[in-house]
C-alpha cells in the first residue's frame, strides 16, 4: 500500500464546532453522535485515528477555517463564524493553537510537521509500519496547517508570525473577501489581494487557488512567484450539470499545470456529478469518477506529477455524500484498483497518492 497525503481536511473546524475527537475510531464517533445528536451537525464522520492508520493516510493539510456569517448562517449554526476580519483573525489563531495543543497533549495521535526533518522522520516511520497495523502499531497523523480563506489576515506584518507558528499554505478565498472573489461571490483580485500575494511570497507560503473565482486565480497564476496548488478542486468540465464557480476551469487547470502546480482531487459526489443529490443515494456515484478526474489531469499535463488527493472529508459533508465504495478515510486506498484499470502503474499511483504533494511540501518547509 502507498502512503497517502491528503491536501485538505477541516479538522480543527470539526473539533471546535461539533466536539469531534479524531483520536476515536470513526465508528465510535458515529455511534456517539447517533446516541447524542450534536446541534447543527447533519452528516456522519469519515475520519478517525485507526482509519488514518489502516488507510496509510500519513499526512494531511489541516485547515484553519471559519465562514463569514452572511454565508454560514443557515449552513452551520455554531460558533466558528465571523462578522469582521478581526473576528476571523481571532478564530484562525484559535485553530492554529488547537493544532499545537493536540500535538502536545496527544503526541501519539497528532504531530505537527513544521520542518523538512520533521517530514523526513515522520514519513520514514510511516514507511516502516506493517501493512495491517494493529493498535500498538498506530502512528500519529502528521498535520500541515493551512488557512482556507485569508479574511483573518488583518495585518500583513503578522505573516511571519503565522509562519513561525507553523502555517505553510494560504488560500485567499472561501467566499469573496477583501482580497478576491470566491465561491458564490465572484470577483477579481483586488489591490489588497495583490499586496497580500507580494507579502506571502516574501515569507514563502504555498498559495492555494481552491475557491478562488476564475479571474482572480488566473491573475495569481501570472504574478505569484512561489509554489501554487489547488488543494481541493475538481476539473469543472468533467462534472455533469456543473454551473457555478467553485471548481477549476480548463484555463486555470492548464495554467496551473504550466506553473508546476498540484491539484487535489475531491471524492465528493456533488463535485463529481453536480446533478447528484443526497436523495439519489451513494450508490449513484462511484470512485471511478475520481479516478477519471485524476486521469484527465494527467492527460492534460502529459505526466503523473501534478495531481493528488484533497478529500475535504468532514468539510461540511460526510459519509452520506461520498462515492459508495468509501466507508471511511481508510477506503481511499480503493482508488488503487480504479487507477490500475485506467493503466496506471505502482510508481505512478505512488506519485498521485503522496509523491506530488510531498514535493510541494518539501519545497517550502524550512530545513
Ligand atoms: Zn473548501
Which pLDDT score is estimated for 39?
Answer: 85
| Per-residue pLDDT tens digits for 137-196 | 999 999 999 999 999 999 999 999 999 999 999 999 999 999 999 999 999 999 999 999
- The half-sphere exposure of 246 on its side-chain side, counting CA atoms within 13 A, is 16
**Does the pLDDT value for residue 71 go beyond 60?**
no
pLDDT band at 78 (very low <50, low <70, confident <90, very high): low
136 CA distance to ligand 1 middle (Å): 34
263 CA distance to ligand 1 middle (Å): 13
| Per-residue pLDDT tens digits for 99-123 | 999 999 999 999 999 999 999 999 9
| Per-residue pLDDT tens digits for 6-29 | 999 999 999 999 999 999 999 999
148 CA distance to ligand 1 middle (Å): 7
Which pLDDT score is estimated for 73?
Answer: 56
279 CA distance to ligand 1 middle (Å): 23
8 CA distance to ligand 1 middle (Å): 8
250 CA distance to ligand 1 middle (Å): 19
211 CA distance to ligand 1 middle (Å): 7
| Per-residue pLDDT tens digits for 317-356 | 899 999 999 999 999 999 999 999 999 999 999 999 999 9
pLDDT band at 280 (very low <50, low <70, confident <90, very high): confident
233 CA distance to ligand 1 middle (Å): 8
Closest CA to 6 of 209, 143, 163: 143
| Kind plus residue range of the DSSP H or E element containing 360 | helix 356-364
CA distances (Å), origin 31, targets 26, 40, 135, 228: 9, 17, 20, 39
141 CA distance to ligand 1 middle (Å): 21
Q: Are 164 and 112 in contact (CB under 8 A)?
A: no
Mean pLDDT calculated for residue range 261-290: 93
128 CA distance to ligand 1 middle (Å): 32
345 CA distance to ligand 1 middle (Å): 30
Average pLDDT, the chain: 95
Please state which architecture CATH assigns to domain 4-364: Alpha-Beta Barrel (3.20)
Q: Are 261 and 306 in contact (CB under 8 A)?
A: yes
- List phi, psi (to 5°) of 283: -60, -25
234 CA distance to ligand 1 middle (Å): 12
55 CA distance to ligand 1 middle (Å): 22
Report domain extents, the chain.
4-364
pLDDT band at 256 (very low <50, low <70, confident <90, very high): very high
Q: In the block, which residue shows the cell 495554467?
A: 255
346 CA distance to ligand 1 middle (Å): 30
Q: Any idea what DSSP says for residue 134?
A: -
Assign 101 to helix, strand or coil: helix
pTM of the model: 0.97
137 CA distance to ligand 1 middle (Å): 32
367 CA distance to ligand 1 middle (Å): 29
The rounded Cα 356 to chain-centroid distance in angstroms is 14
The residues with which 309 forms a beta bridge, in sequence order, are 6, 265
The residues with which 229 forms a beta bridge, in sequence order, are 208, 262
183 CA distance to ligand 1 middle (Å): 9
| Per-residue pLDDT tens digits for 283-306 | 999 999 999 999 999 999 999 999
Amino acid at each position: 500500500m502507498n502512503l497517502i497525503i491528503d491536501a485538505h481536511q477541516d479538522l480543527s473546524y470539526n473539533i471546535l464546532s461539533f466536539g469531534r475527537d479524531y483520536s476515536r475510531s470513526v465508528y465510535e464517533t458515529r455511534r456517539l453522535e447517533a446516541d447524542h445528536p450534536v446541534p447543527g451537525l447533519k452528516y456522519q464522520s469519515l475520519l478517525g485515528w485507526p482509519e488514518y492508520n489502516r488507510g496509510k493516510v500519513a499526512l494531511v493539510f489541516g485547515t484553519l477555517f471559519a465562514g463569514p456569517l452572511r454565508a454560514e448562517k443557515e449552513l452551520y449554526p455554531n460558533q466558528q463564524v465571523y462578522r469582521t476580519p478581526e473576528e476571523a483573525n481571532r478564530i484562525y489563531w484559535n485553530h492554529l493553537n488547537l493544532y499545537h495543543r493536540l500535538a502536545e497533549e496527544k503526541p501519539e495521535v497528532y504531530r505537527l510537521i513544521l520542518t523538512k526533518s520533521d517530514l523526513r522522520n515522520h514519513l520514514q516511520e510511516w514507511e516502516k509500519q506493517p501493512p495491517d497495523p494493529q493498535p500498538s502499531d498506530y502512528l500519529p497523523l502528521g498535520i500541515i496547517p493551512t488557512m482556507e480563506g485569508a479574511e483573518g489576515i488583518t495585518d500583513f506584518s503578522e505573516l511571519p508570525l503565522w509562519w513561525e507558528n507553523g502555517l505553510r499554505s494560504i488560500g485567499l478565498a472561501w467566499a469573496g473577501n477583501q482580497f478576491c472573489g470566491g465561491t458564490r461571490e465572484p470577483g477579481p483580485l483586488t489591490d489588497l489581494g495583490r499586496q497580500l500575494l507580494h507579502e506571502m511570497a516574501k515569507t514563502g507560503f504555498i498559495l492555494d487557488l481552491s475557491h478562488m473565482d476564475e479571474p482572480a486565480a488566473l491573475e495569481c497564476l501570472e504574478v505569484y512567484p512561489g509554489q501554487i496548488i489547488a488543494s481541493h478542486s475538481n476539473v469543472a468540465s468533467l462534472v455533469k450539470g456543473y454551473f457555478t464557480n467553485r471548481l477549476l476551469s480548463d484555463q486555470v487547470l492548464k495554467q496551473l499545470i504550466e506553473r508546476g502546480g498540484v491539484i487535489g482531487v475531491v471524492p465528493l459526489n456533488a463535485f463529481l456529478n453536480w446533478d447528484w443529490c443526497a436523495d439519489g443515494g451513494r450508490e449513484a456515484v462511484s470512485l471511478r469518477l475520481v479516478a477519471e478526474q485524476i486521469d484527465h489531469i494527467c492527460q492534460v499535463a502529459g505526466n503523473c506529477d501534478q495531481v493528488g488527493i484533497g478529500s475535504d472529508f468532514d468539510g461540511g459533508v460526510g459519509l452520506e455524500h461520498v462515492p459508495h465504495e468509501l466507508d471511511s478515510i481508510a477506503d481511499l486506498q480503493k482508488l488503487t484498483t480504479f487507477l490500475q484499470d485506467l493503466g496506471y502503474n505502482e510508481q505512478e499511483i505512488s506519485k498521485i497518492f503522496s509523491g506530488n504533494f510531498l514535493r510541494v511540501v518539501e519545497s517550502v518547509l524550512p530545513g
